Amino acid sequence: MAWWSREGRDRGSARPRGQEDVAGLAARNADGVSYFAVGRAADAIPRFADAYEGCLASLGADHPHTLTAAGNLAAACVAAGDSRRGLDLMAANLADRVRVFGDADPRTLTAADAMACAYRLVGEVNEAITLSDRVTADRRRILGPAHPDTLVSRMGMALARAAAGDVMAALTLLEVTLHDSEQAHGARSQHSIALRANIAACLAAAGRGDEALAAYRQAVDDSAALLGANHPDTVALHEEMLSVVQDGAPRNAESSSASTSVNRVEVISST
């Protein structure tokens, strides 16, 4: 039976380890996070799988670290193109977090937001809209409209509508969210930059090339000031801006800068 099955998880839950092993598990997960952060999701998968198996064996199926590693593995599978396996793992992880933490816990909402993003990335846009709307409403109520997690969900909610073809609705949602982000965190926060880049992508998709180019230029300048001109996110934004100049539209309806905020993986504490 596959190692991620319920039987395998339950069977491994009774073997305790010492404190030093928790640090080792955290290090294995951190190794996967490092690969994921630079776009090497396929290389992150075995690291997350190893961390998950170790957490399962030493901490049990319901331990927060185990649920973190399982969620990371699911996200890496989706990012690497193994969408069916990734969605199945995400659904199981979300159900486990609801059972262990409750449906309104921030850790549960993190998993729900990741699944909404995954639905959008694999083209299941109706499911993406339904879930992202629900997560956004929950995070607004619990965390407030300008909390970083809420901004992530609000951006995802807009991008789900863009993926469904309603670019103007997406643009309106993104502009309102950017205003809230700038008020709370400034124009040169990563959230504000990602939102502005996706506004630029929507403007380009709507045929408003001059406005899109201006928005991209500001996003590139802000990213260079925050992260550096040679940072991968800045370089990606610059390439998208050039595509507007050359082709009149970005390569994708969704800016690649969204990956810095939406497709997140979680860190395991070593203590």
Distance CA 91, CA 45 (A): 17
- The Cα–Cα gap between 76 and 51 comes to 13
Task: List the chain pLDDT tens, one digit each, 271 residues.
Answer: 232 333 333 333 344 444 448 889 999 999 999 999 888 999 999 999 999 999 999 999 999 999 999 999 999 999 999 999 999 999 999 999 999 999 999 999 999 999 999 999 999 999 999 999 999 999 999 999 999 999 999 999 999 999 999 999 999 999 999 999 999 999 999 999 999 999 999 999 999 999 999 999 999 999 999 999 999 889 999 998 998 777 655 544 455 454 433 456 787 766 5
Supply 93's token pair.
């992880």
* pLDDT value of residue 11: 36
pTM for the model: 0.84
Tell whether the torsion through CA atoms of 131, 135, 137 and 138 is positive or negative.
positive
Q: Nearest Cα to 62, choosing from 70, 72, 73?
A: 70
